[in-house]
Amino acid sequence: DVAGRQMRRFGGMVSFRVAGGEEAAVEVCNRARVFTLGESLGGVESLIEHPGRMTHASAAGSPLEVPGDLVRLSVGIENVDDLLADLDQALR
């Protein structure tokens, strides 16, 4: 079936840490234009989030806390060149 074949390879979830710490990571999320800021990752549109201030904010100070410089992406179906250009400008 299609669903079984669909998930046999890599997924579209990507996380990375931003040099410059938490504020720099938040700015990357704010500067993204093709990636939309959102917590509900995994749809067909590309999304970006700062988990430390969004989905994992309640885990601060616990063993589940995420690094403040972490950014998470859910890569959707947009053109790969548009997505790469967006990340390039957001990271500057």
CATH of the domain at 61: 3.90.1150.10
On whether residue 5 sits in a domain, the answer given is no
Q: Cα–Cα distance between 80 and 50 in angstroms, integer?
A: 22
pLDDT at residue number 62: 95
Q: Pull the structure tokens for residue 60.
A: 């601060």
pLDDT at residue number 1: 47
**Helix H segments across 13-73?**
21-31
pLDDT at residue number 12: 83
On whether residue 4 sits in a domain, the answer given is no
Give the pTM.
Answer: 0.84
- Name the nearest CA neighbour of 17 among 75, 85, 72, 59: 72
Number of domains in the chain: 1
On whether residue 1 sits in a domain, the answer given is no
On whether residue 23 sits in a domain, the answer given is yes
Q: Provide the greatest CA pair distance for the chain.
A: 45
Percentage of residues in the chain having pLDDT higher than 90: 76
For the segment 19-45, what is each residue's pLDDT rounded down to a tens digit? 999 999 999 999 999 999 998 766 789
3-state secondary structure of 1: coil
3-state secondary structure of 91: coil
Which residues make Cβ contacts (< 8 Å) with residue 78, sequence separation at least 6?
Answer: 34, 45, 46
On whether residue 75 sits in a domain, the answer given is yes
Low-confidence ranges of the chain (pLDDT < 70): 1-10, 41-42
Q: Can you give the residue range of the structural domain that contains 31? A: 11-90
pLDDT at residue number 61: 94
